[in-house]
Amino acid sequence: GAVVSQHPSRVICKSGTSVKIECRSLDFQATTMFWYRQFPKQSLMLMATSNEGSKATYEQGVEKDKFLINHASLTLSTLTVTSAHPEDSSFYICSARGGSGGAQSPQYFGPGTRLLVL
Amino acid sequence: QKEVEQDPGPLSVPEGAIVSLNCTYSNSAFQYFMWYRQYSRKGPELLMYTYSSGNKEDGRFTAQVDKSSKYISLFIRDSQPSDSATYLCAMTPWGVTGGGNKLTFGTGTQLKVEL
């Protein structure tokens, strides 16, 4: 149980284009989803927290107009990197919290999406 | 000073050894503690999740929490080459509804188990 999927696993795009990444909780309802960014050999950096049906809460320094987050259902959240530039190239990982433990459940992570902007 | 301190390693051990991974923290509000394993180019995988001080065992893994010392450990028995990965400790102050239960991570310890 507690499986989180991400799609795509890898994407290469040209500078200036927008990229959408999907995060799905496959076997539980995720009341809260999180989006992280990870640079090589570094720990995860939280970008934003989203609750189903509400606007996402962004961490300080993260541009909400650049990284659009939608959490339209209890099993799906999307991150759209708008007008991507090479400096947006990174490993993006989502996590979901929910399941039988509710608010006391741990976060379960997706496999990550590697974004390369040329 | 970081809220969570974790030795980045790398830690290299022979196959079959007992591995001890540790984190210290400064925020006494942290109540829930997790250990994640992350293979290269993959998302973190939850290994252990605990609230109480003391030990929690799951197969070859034992998580230990000492809230009085603000110190947590993960022990891996009979280590295997497949255990080679980065191990992240994580913790959060909340266990009730509300907020986002944001996790505070350690930097991760890179472990290599050699044949």
DSSP-assigned states of every residue in B49-80: EE-SSEEEEETTEEEEEETTTTEEEEEESS--
The mean-pLDDT minimum among A40-54, A57-71, B62-76 falls in A40-54
pLDDT digits (tens, 9 = 90+) for B79-112: 999 999 999 999 988 655 444 578 999 999 999 9
Please indicate whether, in this complex, the C-beta atoms of A43 and B97 are within 8 angstroms of each other.
no
A112 contacts in B (CB within 8 Å)?
41-43
Show contacts of A85-88: CB within 8 Å, 24+ apart.
A85/A15, A85/A16, A85/A117, A86/A15, A86/A117, A86/A118, A87/A117, A88/A115, A88/A117
Please indicate whether, in this complex, the C-beta atoms of A43 and B107 are within 8 angstroms of each other.
yes
Once rounded to an integer, what is the mean pLDDT over residues B14-43? 94
Which residue out of A43, A57, A91 would a mutagenesis test of the B interface target, given it has the greatest number of B Cβ atoms within 10 Å? A43
- Res A100 pLDDT > 80: no
A31 contacts in B (CB within 8 Å)?
none
Q: In the prediction, which pLDDT does A9 show?
A: 97
Quick one: closest CA in A to B35, which residue? Answer: A106
Quick one: closest CA in B to A51, which residue? Answer: B100
What mean pLDDT value characterizes chain A? 91
What mean pLDDT value characterizes chain B? 91
Once rounded to an integer, what is the mean pLDDT over residues B23-42? 93
Cβ contacts below 8 Å, chain A against chain B, sum to 59
Query: 10 Å Cβ neighbour count for B55?
Result: 12
Q: In the prediction, which pLDDT does A40 show?
A: 87
Please give the Cα distance from A11 to A9 (Å, whole number).
7
Distance from CA of B42 to the nearest CA of A (A): 5
pLDDT band with cut points at 50, 70 and 90 for residue A41 = confident
Report which of B74, B94, B58, B25 is spatially closest to residue A105, judged by C-alpha positions.
Answer: B94
Which residue out of B45, B101, B109 would a mutagenesis test of the A interface target, given it has the greatest number of A Cβ atoms within 10 Å? B101
Check CB contact of B40 with chain A, cutoff 8 Å: no
Please indicate whether, in this complex, the C-beta atoms of B44 and A49 are within 8 angstroms of each other.
no
Measured CA to CA in angstroms, residue B8 lies from A11, B37, B76 at distances of: 29, 14, 17
